[in-house]
Amino acid sequence: MKREILIVEDNDGDILLLQEAFETSGCQWNLTICKDGEQAIRHLADLCAQEHHNRPDLILLDLNLPRKNGLEVLEFIKENGFLKEIPTVVFSTSSSKKDIDSCYQRHANCYITKPVDIDNYQRTIQAICSFWVHTVQLPGVR
C-alpha cells in the first residue's frame, strides 16, 4: 500500500534530494510537495474541508519557509482536530536549541537536523522511511 507524505520544503535542491532518496528507499510513498508555509496550510485546510481520505500519513516540514514559517505550519497542524494526529517530522538545517525546543513545544513528533553531505542525507531519509513504514503504527493505516 502506498502511503501519503507531505513535504513542505522551499529549496529546490533539497526537494530533488528528497524525491531521489524516497524513490530509492524501497518504501512506497505518494509525495506531495508544498514550497511555502501558506501553500502547505492551504493544502491542509482543503483536505480538512473535504475530510479527504488521502490526508498525509506523514509530514516532513522545513522550518525556514517563505510566507509562513515552519512553526506556523506546525501550529496549524497540531491545533486542528483532523490533522493533529499526523506525525510531523521537522527536517531543518537549524541545530539551534531554541528552534528544537520551539518545535517540541508545538508537538512536533520528531526533529532532525538535515545532514550536509549526500551520503548521510540519503541514510537519514532511509531511516525515516524505515521507521515510519516498518516500525511504527500510523494513525488510520491498517
Percentage, residues of the chain above pLDDT 90? 63
**pLDDT beyond 60 at 137:** yes
In a domain, 124, yes or no: yes
pLDDT digits (tens, 9 = 90+) for 76-127: 999 998 899 999 999 999 999 999 999 999 999 999 999 988 889 989 988 9
* CATH at residue 44: 3.40.50.2300
In a domain, 111, yes or no: yes
Q: Which domain holds residue 63?
A: 34-134
Overall average pLDDT of the 68-77 stretch: 97
In a domain, 29, yes or no: no
Contact 31, 7 (CB under 8 A): yes
In a domain, 2, yes or no: no
Overall average pLDDT of the 33-43 stretch: 97
Phi-psi label, residue 51: left if phi above 0, alpha if psi -120 to 50, beta otherwise? left
Distances (CA, A) of 135 to 21, 95, 125, 128, 138: 19, 26, 14, 10, 9
pTM: 0.92
DSSP one-letter string for 79-127: T-TTTTTS-EEEEES---HHHHHHHHHTT-SEEEEPPSSHHHHHHHHHH
How many domains, in total, are found in the chain? 1
